[in-house]
């Protein structure tokens, strides 16, 4: 079992900044990667950024130069620092993690889980 909990969303004016957090907990053996997705109201969920266990990062075009993804390995927590926010960034932001966990009998299994989402609203 793995749980992902996002936090840090809220209301911010255009040009402002927010930092989102995603904390992973449970019987985690290792995390292969963690990623951020977002879903604007009435739109499809879209990829935003990803960070691997080795620290490699990637971003969608709309996020690069404004967003920074990072991870605290000791706490299994991922962050998304967002700056120069635009109204178009308004969405529910979800974290995703995949890796290996220890199940009820100690066996190792692959996992891939989503968090519950946190709302980001950018006003004009």
- Tell me the C-alpha distance between 3 and 22, whole Å: 10
- Tell me the C-alpha distance between 93 and 96, whole Å: 10
Residue 105 has pLDDT above 90, yes or no: no
Q: Return the closest-CA partner of residue 92 out of 75, 117, 67, 73.
A: 117
Better pLDDT: 102 or 119: 119
Q: Using 50, 70 and 90 to split pLDDT, how confident is the model at 106?
A: confident
So what's the pLDDT on residue 73?
Answer: 84
So what's the pLDDT on residue 123?
Answer: 97
- Tell me the C-alpha distance between 61 and 55, whole Å: 19
3-state secondary structure of 74: helix
The mean pLDDT of 18-35, rounded to a whole number, is 94
Better pLDDT: 116 or 75: 116
The mean pLDDT of 73-79, rounded to a whole number, is 90
So what's the pLDDT on residue 104?
Answer: 82
Question: Do residues 33 and 40 make contact, with C-beta atoms less than 8 angstroms apart?
Answer: no
For every residue of 17-33, DSSP letters joined together read: -EEEEEEEEESEEEEEE
């Amino acid at each position: 079992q793995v749980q992902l909990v996002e936090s840090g969303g809220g209301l911010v004016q255009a040009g402002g900044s927010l930092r989102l957090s995603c904390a992973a907990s449970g019987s985690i053996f290792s995390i292969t990667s963690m990623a951020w997705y977002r879903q604007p109201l009435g739109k499809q969920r879209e990829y935003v950024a990803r960070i691997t266990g080795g620290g490699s990062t990637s971003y969608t075009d709309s996020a690069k130069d404004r967003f920074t993804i990072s991870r605290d390995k000791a706490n299994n927590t991922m962050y998304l620092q967002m700056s120069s926010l635009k109204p178009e960034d308004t969405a529910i932001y979800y974290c995703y993690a995949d890796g290996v966990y220890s199940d009820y009998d100690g066996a190792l299994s692959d996992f891939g889980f989503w968090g519950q989402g946190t709302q980001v609203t950018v006003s004009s």
